Amino acid sequence: MSVPQTLEEAIANAKTAVKAAIADGCQRVQVELVIPEIALQAQTLALEFTTIFSEYGSGLKVVFPDTGAAALARRDWGETTFKITDIGTSRSPVERRISDSDQLFLVVSPSAVEVNQVEKLCHLAGDRPVVLLIPQLEDVSIVGIGLAARQLRERFLSTLESCYYFRPLEGAAVIRVYPGSWQVWVETADHDYRLLCEQSQKPMGEALERILTQPGTSEDTPSPPGLTKKKSGLLGSLQQFLKALSQ
């Protein structure tokens, strides 16, 4: 495996990982492209991912976080073989969005605001696969850090399989491709990447900083996440690409 150099390459890798995870019986999977402003391309990414579920036909249901996003997709996509809906609200619950004919759910960029509806959908789906595409479910300002938040993580968020995770940093990247381990890569002087470490758990926060600043890391290793530095390399090019798409 190597570090994808373009968004298209990352999407292709993610598609392969999703298909492998579902084929292995994983029922709650997520594709995490941790790139600033990626959520602005949620509709485009969703349409791209529907192509790997063509065998489901009308059994595929694409679920957007609100009625406006669902309506926009219907308008832009025109006639489709699959169904499009929204996650529901307190007045129109998610139960009304699910039918017996549904075979697989693709939930597009759900945020922490919709986490309860997403959890309920996953429960109602039973043994039918649910794929969360670029979810934003871990917003601490909304989910919180107290007992309820911890229970939510233990009860639901911890059950989600990150079948594809790609987080480009300044001169580094964190990647996980199902069924492999979590990997941290660092950029070298010739703008290539070398594998720094592999582990069974997602490297986050201080743990990730320790990995990136450990002895033996090259002098070209980036500053730890959170420190300001001019955006360059892979992360900068991906952000420029996404910005151009949004214009």
Give pLDDT tens digits for 156-198: 999 999 999 999 998 899 999 999 999 999 998 887 899 999 9
Q: How far, CA to CA in Å, does 22 sit from each of 84, 166, 180, 189, 219?
A: 21, 19, 15, 38, 41
Residue 80 neighbours by CB under 8 Å, 6+ apart = 50
Q: How many separate domains does the chain show?
A: 1
Give pLDDT tens digits for 68-109: 999 999 999 999 999 999 999 878 899 999 999 999 999 999
**Closest-CA residue to 176 (of 184, 131, 158):** 184
- Domain containing 142 — which CATH number? 3.40.50
pTM over 0.95: no
d(CA 28, CA 66): 21
Enclosing domain of residue 76: 1-247
Give pLDDT tens digits for 5-53: 899 999 999 999 999 999 999 999 999 999 988 999 999 999 999 999 9
Q: Are 105 and 114 in contact (CB under 8 A)?
A: no
